[in-house]
Amino acid sequence: MRKKIFNNMCLLALVTILLSSLLITFVYYGNSDARMKAEVREEARYIRGAVELSGKDYLETVKNTPNRITLIDTDGTVLFDNQADPAAMENHSDRQEVKQAVTAGAGEATRMSGTLSEKKFYYAIKLENGQILRIASETASVFAAVLSMLPWIIGIAVLVAVITVLFSNFLTKKIVTPINRLDLNHPADNVVYDELSPLLSKINRQNEVIDQQIRSLREKQEEFTSITENMSEGFLVLDKNTDILSYNTSALRLLGADAAPAESHESALALNRSAGFRSAVDAALSGSRSEQLVRQGGRCCQVMANPVLREGEVEGAVVVILDITEREERDNLRREFTANVSHELKTPLTSISGFAEIIQNGIVKPEDIPRFAGNIYVESQRLISLVDDILNLSRLDEADVQLEREDFDLAALARDVAGRLKDSAKKNGVVITVIGDKTMINGVKSIVDEMLYNLLDNAVKYNKKNGRVTVTIENDQNGPTLAVTDTGIGIPQSDVDRVFERFYRVDKSHSKEVGGTGLGLSIVKHGAAFHNAKVSLESTEGKGTTVRLAFPN
């Protein structure tokens, strides 16, 4: 801008200098030319008077004047010339000014000299005797006048150029400084030249439009972020160079990324270095959908990568990551459970089939048949309780199980269960005592009944001869609790954490002996979870066990 102002000012100054110099030269030249001509005419008239009065000899007295004086005879012969020898001069009758003077009494002409810089003005006047008196004056030509002005013009031009540089600097600064200080975020608050007002109000309007657009973009972005941030699934949007365009924190967590990607584009492959993740991303960026399993920090994730296409070209990929650890664990448990169930069912069935086969073959003596039938009965009872337990467990496994909840007295239910177990307790000399007042809870009575039955059954089964089982029901500010304490064989510390697993038994043969299935405490655990109750177990080997159920308030 400074350069432009300088150039324009320079051009303007130069044109002005040139035009004004030429104008002055021409006006000045015109004036002095006219004055010179008038003087020549005046001088001619004066000399004519003197010559007519004193004759040709008068000319000898004015011989040394700077102007050239020539006296020409009527036939054109030069009679006198103060600057040349008249005899050597040619006939002047054809000179323009002479011809005019002959016919009109006076004539004048201007002719250039040998060089362009000089010109001559001739004025001829007719004497009374017909002779012609001619005065010639030499002056500088216009060209010479212009030429003589040239150094001045150049000098002034240089001076003007210097002034222009200084002035243009000053002017540019003066114009530019307020523009530089403009607050374009608040254009209406600026006080500058009136000429800028339309521009500022236009910027103001555009700022409002941009603000509006930014607001709506931000709202959309926040909406999108809050949707993706609340997803437990990981979500990544990549461009075709695998650079991350968008992500949620679940994606970083599931992929085990140490830190959030930097502001500048970072490759998604830096988030997880596993071959599975890379192959899913590569496949999506090659245009095909891919699903891969990625194991990371003890968790298992399913990575689903889909290509993003625009006009048939792959523009990037959208990657969704699901944590399927629990699903995998459930599947494993189910597989394990099925294998265990088959095994547990097969054992009594094999015994039953064996006993039946022996009887069928007639190998058994008639007096032994009741004993064999008794064995078959015991094994089928085991089979029945096993199937019952499996059914109970799978009933609890159904997440959407629609069982009717009701309010009932926990203490009354415990007494009822204790009553049902009285006979088997008696057989072992075990005494069951239920302590506690009416304590109402809300739940599925049949499930709680099953839980209490299993706990009391265990307390009796794994008790010592003449042992005791105490059921204590309490209700404090934390909610109703039920504790089953026995004075039995106890559980080794190393097994305490595992007894709630399906089919886990501390002593398999003892459990079998007392009719255990290995599913009792699993049923208790699942029943407690169904009622949002907490189960805890404390045991001292050889002394006894306490299992506590804490129901929510």
Stretch that binds ligand ADP, among 54-62, 191-199, 315-323, 501-509 (CB under 6 A): 501-509
Question: Is 516 an interacting residue with respect to ligand ADP (CB under 6 A)?
Answer: yes
519 binds ligand ADP (CB under 6 A): yes
Query: Between 261 and 488, whose beta carbon lies closer to ligand ADP?
Result: 488
Closest approach, Cβ 280 to ligand ADP, in A, equals 42
Burial of 418 (0-12, 13-18, 19+ CB in 10 A): buried
Pick the closer one to ligand ADP by CB: 393 or 410. 393
Nearer CB in complex with ligand ADP: 316/516? 516
| By the rule CB under 6 A, 462 interacts with ligand ADP | yes
Return the DSSP state at 312.
T
Coil vs helix vs strand at 98: helix
Stretch that binds ligand ADP, among 24-32, 263-271, 277-285, 498-506 (CB under 6 A): 498-506
> Which helix (H) or strand (E) segment is 545 a member of?
strand 544-550
Beta partners for 98?
none
Q: How far is the CB of 245 from ligand ADP (least distance, A)?
A: 53
Please calculate the CA angle 287-292-298 and round it to the nearest 5 degrees. 150
CA-CA distance, 520 to 326, in Å (whole number)?
A: 24
Site size toward ligand ADP, by CB under 6 A: 23
Residue with smaller CB distance to ligand ADP, 111 or 510:
510
Both tokens of 447, joined, read 């499930």
Choice from 67, 248, 274, 545 touching ligand ADP (CB under 6 A): 545
State which of residues 233, 282, 474, 507 lies at the interface with ligand ADP (CB under 6 A): 507
Residue (439 or 511) nearer to ligand ADP, CB: 511
Beta carbon of residue 385, minimum distance to ligand ADP (angstroms, whole number): 8
Listed ranges 154-162, 246-254, 318-326, 500-508: which one lies at the site for ligand ADP (CB under 6 A): 500-508
Distances, alpha carbon 26 to alpha carbons 14, 33, 112, 144, 537, in Å = 18, 10, 18, 11, 125
Contact stretch for ligand ADP (CB under 6 A) within 103-111, 260-268, 332-340, 518-526:
518-526
Please list the alpha-helical segments (H only) found in 230-308. Answer: 249-255, 275-285
Residue of the chain from 95, 126, 505, 531 that contacts ligand ADP (CB under 6 A): 505
Of 204 and 470, the one with the shorter C-beta distance to ligand ADP is 470
Residue type, 136: A
- Restricted to residues 431-460, the positions that interact with ligand ADP (CB under 6 A) are 454, 458-459
Which residue, 172 or 340, has its beta carbon nearer to ligand ADP?
Answer: 340
d(CA 286, CA 364): 75
Residue 467 binds ligand ADP (CB under 6 A): no
- Integer Cα distance of 219 and 228 in angstroms: 14
- Give the contact letters, 395-434, x = binds to ligand ADP (CB under 6 A), - = no: ----------------------------------------
In terms of Cβ atoms closer than 10 Å to its own Cβ (0-12, 13-18, 19+), residue 437 is exposed
Look at residues 527, 352, 379 and name the one whose alpha carbon lies nearest to residue 445.
527
Kindly tell me which of 71 and 491 has the beta carbon lying closer to ligand ADP: 491
Interface with ligand ADP, residue 506, by CB under 6 A? yes
Q: Does 392 bind ligand ADP (CB under 6 A)?
A: no
> Rounded to the nearest whole angstrom, what is the least distance from the CB of residue 480 to ligand ADP in the complex?
21
Interacting span for ligand ADP (CB under 6 A) from 141-149, 233-241, 397-405, 489-497: 489-497
CA distance 515 to 505: 12
Radius of gyration of the CA atoms of the chain, in A = 64
CA dihedral 235, 240, 244, 248 (to 10 degrees): -10
Q: Which is nearer to ligand ADP, 245 or 496 (CB)?
A: 496
- Residue 486 as a binder of ligand ADP (CB under 6 A): the answer is yes
* Choice between 329 and 513, CB closer to ligand ADP: 513
Alpha-carbon distances of 271 from 178, 328, 534, rounded to whole Å: 50, 23, 39
Q: Terminal CA-to-CA distance of the chain, rounded, Å?
A: 81
Structure letter (DSSP) for residue 298 = T
Among 160, 517, 530, 551, binds ligand ADP (CB under 6 A): 517
Rule CB under 6 A: is residue 491 a binding residue for ligand ADP? yes
**Angle at which helices 325-360 and 369-397 pack, to 10 degrees?**
160
Q: Indicate the SS3 state at residue 473.
A: strand
Tell me: does residue 243 bind ligand ADP (CB under 6 A).
Answer: no
Q: Given the complex with ligand ADP, which of 132 and 528 has the nearer CB atom? A: 528
Can you tell me the distance from the alpha carbon of 432 to that of 208, in angstroms, rounded to the nearest whole number?
Answer: 82
Q: Among residues 276, 443, 520, 527, which is the contact residue for ligand ADP, using CB under 6 A? A: 520
Q: Which one of residues 47, 294, 444, 521 is an interface residue with ligand ADP (CB under 6 A)?
A: 521
Nearest CA to 521 out of 541, 539, 505 is that of 505
Binding region for ligand ADP (CB under 6 A) out of 40-48, 124-132, 291-299, 509-517: 509-517
Nearer Cβ to ligand ADP (242/522):
522
Query: Dihedral sign, CA of 139, 144, 146, 149?
Result: negative
Is the dihedral angle over the CA atoms 101, 104, 105, 111 positive or is it negative? negative
33 CB contacts (<8 Å, ≥6 apart)? 121, 139
What does each C-alpha distance from 398 to 165, 324, 329, 502 come to in angstroms?
Answer: 93, 19, 17, 16
Select 436 or 488, whichever has its Cβ closest to ligand ADP. Answer: 488
Which residues here bind ligand ADP, judged by CB under 6 A? 454, 458-459, 462, 486, 488-491, 499, 504-507, 511, 516-522, 545
